[in-house]
Amino acid sequence: MSARTEPEPQAEPTRKPLGARVLAELRSWLWTFLVVLLLWMTIQSLRGGADMQGQAPDFALVDTKGQRVALTDLRGKPAVLYFWASWCTACKLTSPSIDAFARAHPDVPVLGIAEDEAADVQAYLASTPRTFRTALATQSITRAYRVRALPTTIVLDGHGKVVWSRVGVVLPFELGWHVPDGGR
């Protein structure tokens, strides 16, 4: 007769501590969220977003150095108009992308149009300098350009026609996609 052998007890599978499991789950959700966000931003970038089309309305503003700047000064090459404010959180996220584009494409005029008081703009730019020129907004320009939220970014071709616009955060690569000839 054969001896009956008892099965050896199996060790309990080791479980990760609760904190590690939660952290792994959060990472998974975060990566999913980031992929969906990137996809959404890409789709939004391709279709634009601001309510601005056709020929850009003419304007004459005063920049932070007291110099006059007009739309006619920007004609002849593509240009970027960037409406922002120092108190705007989304603007603080977008401004570095606009500034990086301005540094990488010095031949493309980039005009920041600040919806702030002059002293607030000066103080903000002193603490976070920008490469691009900044002018102070007027009610007439925000109405003419249909700026309803900040930031609003508008790309013009060399003839002053709106070719792309966006309300909200602009990703670093987007202006290169939408500025005619890539800003070259």
Are the C-beta atoms of 142 and 52 separated by less than 8 Å? no
Instruction: Look at the chain and report how many structural domains it folds into.
Output: 2
- Verify that 149 and 132 share a domain, yes or no: yes
Are the C-beta atoms of 170 and 155 separated by less than 8 Å? no
Residue 3 lies in a domain: no
pTM: 0.74
Coil, strand or helix: which one is 149? coil
Nearest to 24 by CA among 34, 13, 16, 36: 16
Mean pLDDT of the chain: 86
Coil, strand or helix: which one is 137? coil
| pLDDT 10s digits, 24-47 | 888 888 888 878 777 766 665 555
Determine the pLDDT at residue 104.
Answer: 93
- Verify that 85 and 43 share a domain, yes or no: no
- Verify that 24 and 84 share a domain, yes or no: no
Q: How many residues does the chain have?
A: 184
Asked if the bond preceding 96 is cis, omega within 30° of 0, the reply is no
Residue 76 lies in a domain: yes
- Verify that 91 and 150 share a domain, yes or no: yes
Domain at 77, CATH number = 3.40.30.10
- Verify that 109 and 146 share a domain, yes or no: yes
In the listed set 31, 47, 63, which residue is the last one of a domain according to the structure? 47
| pLDDT 10s digits, 88-113 | 999 999 999 999 999 999 999 999 99
Kindly write down the DSSP assignment for every residue of 149-167, as one continuous string.
SS-EEEEE-TTSBEEEEEE
Range of the domain at 31: 17-47
The terminus-to-terminus CA distance of the chain in angstroms comes to: 91
